Structure 1
């Protein structure tokens, strides 16, 4: 695997020097300062690339080029927004970018309810708790019809949870959900969040899936010509949230997308954490079956706690089965003769980073630990595989 680490640009507390010392050879990044839906200027892309290369690192993967909500809802300005996206792709290709990550999650990007959940060893992890999310939806947001989206027992527990919370607890929960996590495309106030949700009143899963296909049909032929692979990031968490549909949550979702838009540029960012929240997703099997479409890897593990609740586990722990997963990735790379860009994702806040200002999920030391562990697993698998092959041919 090509070892990368995510970098959020010049304002990131983790510097390019830090990332290089952590052992990565590339960064994945974006022009986060450019407004969602605007064209990425070629000059700005080239300047960012020059900055990265001057530090001794490479940049071939963009994460992410946001898809505007007007594209997801097929708004009146859909054609103009798509044309801007196409122009950004042209500019990225001219600067040597070969992989562009995006997602098709409505309104909110990845979502958690606790950004500092303490683990037994004192490190801090990200956590999503369905009871807290329901308490927010039902009693703070007070979304119309929300009670229909939860089992009665969960509605009751969410009510008890809300009434036991202090005003500070309620404010913290709301900020965590709507203020936007690192890499998110939007931040919201409570009123803006309600307005944004209302845009999807008439957009169900079938309509969102159709809009996704229409977007890809409009951009993939150009991406084919440019030699860019567009890789969709799965939903996080991979189930409907706050009344919003999710359409990239399962292997079947992804396989259907590839069948409807068979262009070679239509690819997948395989996020082990997002897919791994669902026990019905067979992660190593997905690598085998979808492998030729995978252009980027997010390797992290979650610990499922039941009923839609999970937290970020250490990279080699939790429910991902990371050793088997890396073995499947190694086999894929050997079959196809390529090295797939990978980044360790959502590390724990630990050691000295506990006393520093860090971006949730993107402190240095937890990700560096994950990168080192994943590197060791891959090299061990490569050595064992080569040794087994030598025995067979001896």
Structure 2
């Protein structure tokens, strides 16, 4: 695998030289200062790439070139926004970048309810609790008919939770959910979020899926001609929240998307953490069956908990079976003769980073630990597979 690490640009507290010392050879980044729907200028892309190269690192994967909400809802500005997206792809390809990550989640990107969940070893992890989402949705956001989206046990737990929350705790939960986590495409206040949800009133799962297909049918021919691969990031978490549909959550979702848009540029960012929240997603099997579509890897593991909760585990722990995933990735790379870009995702905040300003999930030391563990795992698997082949040939 090609070892990369995410970098949020010049304002990221993790510096480029830190990433290089951590062992990565590339960064994955974006022009985060460019508003959604605007064209990425060639000069700005080239300038950022030169800055990265000066630190001895490469940049071949964008994360992310955001998809505007008016594209997701097929709004009145669709034609102009599609034209802008196509032009950005042209400019990106001209600068030698080959993989473009995006997602099709309505309004919210990845969502958590706790950014500093204490682990037994003293490190801090990201966590998602469905009852916390329900408490915010029903009692703070006060979305109309929100109660219909939760079962009785979750509503009862949410009511108890809200009753025990201070004003400060309510504010922290609100900000955690809707203020925008690192890499998120949007940030809202609760009134703004309610109004934005209303724009999806007529967009159910089928319509969102159709809008996703329409987007790809409009941009994939351009990406095909440019030699770019567009890789969709799965939903995080992989189920509907706040009454909003999500349609990139399962293997069936992905297989349907690739069948409806068979262009070679229509690809997958395989996120083991996002897909691994669902116990019905067979992660190693998905690598085997969807491998020719995988252009980028997010390797992390979550620990599933009762009642829809989960937290970020260590990279080799949790429920993901990372050994089997990396073995499947190694077999895919050998079969296709390529090295797939990979980044360790959502590391724990630990050691000296506990006293530093960090982006939630993107502190240096936890990700460096993950990168080292994943590197060792891959090399061990490669050595074992090579030894087996030698024995078979003897």
What TM-score do you get using the length of structure 2 for normalisation?
1.00
For 1:209, the equivalent position in structure 2 comes to 209
For 2:327, the equivalent position in structure 1 comes to 327
Question: Is the counterpart of residue 63 in structure 1 residue 67 in structure 2?
Answer: no
- By how many angstroms is 1:84 displaced? 0.2
What's the secondary structure of 1:267's corresponding residue?
Answer: strand
- Distance in 1 (CA, whole Å) between partners of 2:205 and 2:190 is 24
For 1:382, the equivalent position in structure 2 comes to 382
Structure 1 unmatched runs, 5+: none
Question: Is the counterpart of residue 44 in structure 1 residue 66 in structure 2?
Answer: no
- Distance in 2 (CA, whole Å) between partners of 1:47 and 1:188 is 30
What's the secondary structure of 1:324's corresponding residue?
Answer: helix
- Distance in 2 (CA, whole Å) between partners of 1:33 and 1:143 is 31
- Distance in 2 (CA, whole Å) between partners of 1:338 and 1:145 is 50
- By how many angstroms is 1:152 displaced? 1.1
Counterparts of 1:91-102 in structure 2, within 5 Å, are 91-102=91-102
What's the secondary structure of 2:305's corresponding residue?
Answer: strand
For 1:275, the equivalent position in structure 2 comes to 275
For 1:248, the equivalent position in structure 2 comes to 248
What's the secondary structure of 1:360's corresponding residue?
Answer: coil
For 1:14, the equivalent position in structure 2 comes to 14
What's the secondary structure of 1:126's corresponding residue?
Answer: strand
Residues 313-365 of structure 1: per-residue CA shift (max 9 Å, x gap):
00000000001110000000000000000000000000000000000000000
- Distance in 2 (CA, whole Å) between partners of 1:308 and 1:46 is 43
Segment of structure 1 superposing worse, 190-199 or 378-387: 190-199
Number of aligned positions between the proteins: 394
For 2:158, the equivalent position in structure 1 comes to 158
Counterparts of 1:13-162 in structure 2, within 5 Å, are 13-162=13-162
Structure 2 unmatched runs, 5+: none
What TM-score do you get using the length of structure 1 for normalisation?
1.00
Residues 121-170 of structure 1: per-residue CA shift (max 9 Å, x gap):
00000000011011000110010011110001111111111001111111
For 1:309, the equivalent position in structure 2 comes to 309
- Distance in 2 (CA, whole Å) between partners of 1:343 and 1:355 is 24
- Distance in 1 (CA, whole Å) between partners of 2:192 and 2:144 is 15
What's the secondary structure of 1:307's corresponding residue?
Answer: helix
For 1:220, the equivalent position in structure 2 comes to 220
- Distance in 1 (CA, whole Å) between partners of 2:156 and 2:70 is 36
For 1:194, the equivalent position in structure 2 comes to 194
Q: Flag as ranges the 4+ runs of structure 1 deviating above 3 A.
A: none
- Distance in 2 (CA, whole Å) between partners of 1:340 and 1:316 is 19
Segment of structure 1 superposing worse, 96-105 or 145-154: 145-154
Question: Is the counterpart of residue 286 in structure 1 residue 274 in structure 2?
Answer: no
Residues 345-388 of structure 1: per-residue CA shift (max 9 Å, x gap):
00000000000000000000000000000000000000000011
What's the secondary structure of 2:295's corresponding residue?
Answer: strand
For 2:372, the equivalent position in structure 1 comes to 372
- Distance in 2 (CA, whole Å) between partners of 1:287 and 1:231 is 14
- Distance in 2 (CA, whole Å) between partners of 1:242 and 1:190 is 12
Residues 212-261 of structure 1: per-residue CA shift (max 9 Å, x gap):
00000000000000000000000000000001000000000000000000
- Distance in 1 (CA, whole Å) between partners of 2:141 and 2:61 is 36
- By how many angstroms is 1:307 displaced? 2.4
Residues 167-194 of structure 1: per-residue CA shift (max 9 Å, x gap):
1111100000010000001111111111
- Distance in 1 (CA, whole Å) between partners of 2:316 and 2:225 is 39
- Distance in 1 (CA, whole Å) between partners of 2:154 and 2:102 is 33
What's the secondary structure of 1:117's corresponding residue?
Answer: strand
For 2:358, the equivalent position in structure 1 comes to 358
